[in-house]
Amino acid sequence: MQQGNQSWVFPNRPTIISTGTVGGPFEAKGPLAEDFDLLHGDLWLGQNSYEKAERKMMEEACETAVQKAGLQKKDVQFFLSGDLLNQIISSSFTARTLSVPYLGLFGACSTSMEGLALGGLIVDCRFGDNLICGTVSHNSAAEKQFRYPTEYGSQKPDTAQWTVTGAGAAIVSSKGQGPQITSATIGRIIDMGLSDPFNMGGAMAPAAVDTITAHFRDLELSHEEYDLIATGDLGRVGHNISLDLFKKHSLTIPEEKYTDCGLLIYGENHPMVFAGGSGCGCSATVTYGHILNRMKQGELRKVLIVATGALLSPISYQQKESIPCIAHAVALEYHLEG
């Protein structure tokens, strides 16, 4: 049911009955390593290309999620997924392996919540009972796609971010136990004219602020409704910009309640990752792993995940275009049994 300009409320409460998260070697050394279902010690995952490795992670995340839910592949009706590679090949090739009806999405790093919002919508409307929403990114595959060869010695500025090697998949179901999807806010494209691909956090921050503001306005809520508001991959730079923007819009969000998946995944001030993590896999693995685990432990009851995406291509920025950005928000709620 639509509420306000751009939000959906799900009265039937679609439920995330299980999730699968896969991480790479660098994520395995991070503070959230324990929240992953599967960690790999090798960036190649035994494959002969990074693209194949990315695909493998996506397949493993889906398989883990299906297994943990106690389901079989044939019980899943739809597969909604996207990634960062050209023509979203990782998702499409995973769909080939799963042989489940498939809808391919592209929202750059916002794909995780774009998929979850759409998945929630499908299940809420009873157009499907079990479906998988997933997304994946691979550091080296993304570097190759968007920047320079991985071993090329270019110097990156401090505003740059580190693409997460990881895949996250969630099974959204019409029944079962788990965190429920209560509402979603679909973002508008916000382009403030920034064109530096090494400062995507800064470019995406206004989009995150716009979506959060819209969410509160549409649903007539304030930050008090949520125990945690997490943005997707703004990094340190974008996180601080968004805090300033909230002040400007006179929207109060206490800093201890407001975090960013890109800051959580590697811990703050890690020299290798510059401003923080980014990529499709960032918000997906942190949300489906760390944040849902904290919800299940009873630490958090209601959270708002705002996945942010920079919708640029290597060609668009070489042609000096600015970066259009988007953010999608999904609200999750968990009731402990009994």
Give, as ranges, the residues between 124 and 153 that touch other proteins (CB under 8 A).
144, 148-153
Chosen residue from 11, 74, 155, 320 binding other proteins by CB under 8 A: 155
Compute the least distance from the CB of residue 259 to other proteins, in Å: 27
Rounded distance between C-alpha atoms, residue 43 and residue 51, angstroms: 11
Compute the least distance from the CB of residue 136 to other proteins, in Å: 18
Here's the x/- map for other proteins, 29-68, by CB under 8 A: it reads as: -------------------xxxx-----------------
**For residue 229, what are the CA distances in angstroms to 89, 190, 193, 237, 303?**
31, 20, 26, 17, 6
Neighbour count for residue 87 (Cβ, 10 Å): 10
Rounded distance between C-alpha atoms, residue 47 and residue 57, angstroms: 11
For residue 156, state whether it binds other proteins (rule: CB under 8 A): yes
Rounded distance between C-alpha atoms, residue 338 and residue 336, angstroms: 6
For residue 154, state whether it binds other proteins (rule: CB under 8 A): yes
Compute the least distance from the CB of residue 107 to other proteins, in Å: 26
For residue 250, state whether it binds other proteins (rule: CB under 8 A): no
Compute the least distance from the CB of residue 315 to other proteins, in Å: 14
What's phi and psi for 10, nearest 5 deg? -105, 95
Closer of 176 and 197 to other proteins (Cβ): 197
| DSSP per-residue codes, 15-67 | EEEEEEEEE-HHHHTSTTGGG-SEE-S-TTTT-SSHHHHHHHHHHHHHHHHHH
Rounded distance between C-alpha atoms, residue 74 and residue 62, angstroms: 13
Closer of 153 and 338 to other proteins (Cβ): 153
Strands 258-260 and 228-231: parallel
Compute the least distance from the CB of residue 309 to other proteins, in Å: 25
Closer of 147 and 223 to other proteins (Cβ): 147
For residue 319, state whether it binds other proteins (rule: CB under 8 A): no
Size of the site for other proteins (CB under 8 A): 14
Neighbour count for residue 240 (Cβ, 10 Å): 16
Compute the least distance from the CB of residue 49 to other proteins, in Å: 4
For residue 87, state whether it binds other proteins (rule: CB under 8 A): no
Can you give the binding site for other proteins, defined by CB under 8 A?
48-51, 144, 148-156
